[in-house]
Amino acid sequence: MTTTRKTSTRNRRKTATPAKPRRDIAQEVTDRVLAAMEAGTVPWRPQYCVAGGDEMPTNHATGKAYRGANVLLLWIAAGIANHNNNRWLTYRQAEAAGGQVRRGEKGTSIVFFGAAEDKRTETPEGEPAKLFRYAKFYTVFNVAQVDGLDLSGFEPSERFEWEPIEGAERMVDGFLGRDGAPRLIYGRGTPRYSPAIDLVTLPPREHWENGPAFYQTLLHEIVHSTGHATRLNRPGIAEADRRDKVKYATEEMVAELGAAMLTARVGLMAPAVAEAASYLAGWVELLKGDKHFFMRAASAAQKAADLVAGDAGGS
């Protein structure tokens, strides 16, 4: 009698594909800023000047200005690649606009901040779903890297000194003319914002050699004033203590970034100034010690710039 042995088939486990390590967005952003600083450049100084008087990096497809840390990341990228245009777009946006990213061109990673419904927790009936916020990288290309785009009206123009000043004056007057705004007095010593009396003081305008340097300084002090307890209540101003080096350095970076964003909006090429250069070493030390330092400062600077300019548009 022949016995037939049944062979048992074991379920073979599928070998799981190793998950890709998550990119550390804060660290990557910090590393890019650090690299620019250690190369001796001030990353919040745009390297180009465009027609229309607006230096803010802008999405060419939507017309929306980039915001926060993305402004600085795109300024850095433009400086490294020597792009002379402030317009950017994704690969798909380039195709949709009839363009084609040139073979071999390398895109720039910037950060998208989003929110999605948190399905891990149950939401009681009648209450809005809980959201969790996330950040991820996506890639954009400068229009200089794309063939076939219609760039009429967006050609680079010559650098200028005092023009345009009308937009800057209107922005400053608009902010200082609001109820509860800080006071501004010319003719006193060094540029300064005094939180205790909510006062911005500057030397006479003749103290500066050109418009960009003047407006950069004025807006730097005005951005400081947005931190007052009655406005954005930033620790570096509302709880000012010069002995706290981290708070002080953070507030100075907020003021520098905020002023750069505001001068860019009105098309002024703000030059590197001695005060900014003197802070570089301290900022480099803080960036190396805290990967979130720059992202926090850029976010605070964006809020300050929005408050001064009177809007919160962009992407």
pLDDT for 93 equals: 97
pLDDT for 47 equals: 53
Best CA proximity match to 252, nearest among 191, 178, 211, 182: 191
Phi-psi group of 153: left, alpha or beta (phi > 0 → left; psi -120 to 50 → alpha; rest → beta): left
pLDDT for 265 equals: 87
pLDDT for 153 equals: 78
pLDDT for 56 equals: 85
Residues of the chain below pLDDT 70: 1-19, 40-41, 45-54, 118-126, 129, 156-164, 242, 269-279, 312-315
Q: Quick: pLDDT tens for 199-240.
A: 999 988 877 777 778 888 899 999 999 999 999 999 999 987
C-alpha to C-alpha distance for 118 and 304, rounded to whole angstroms? 30
The single residue listed with the structure tokens 């209107």 is 170
DSSP structure class, residue 145: G
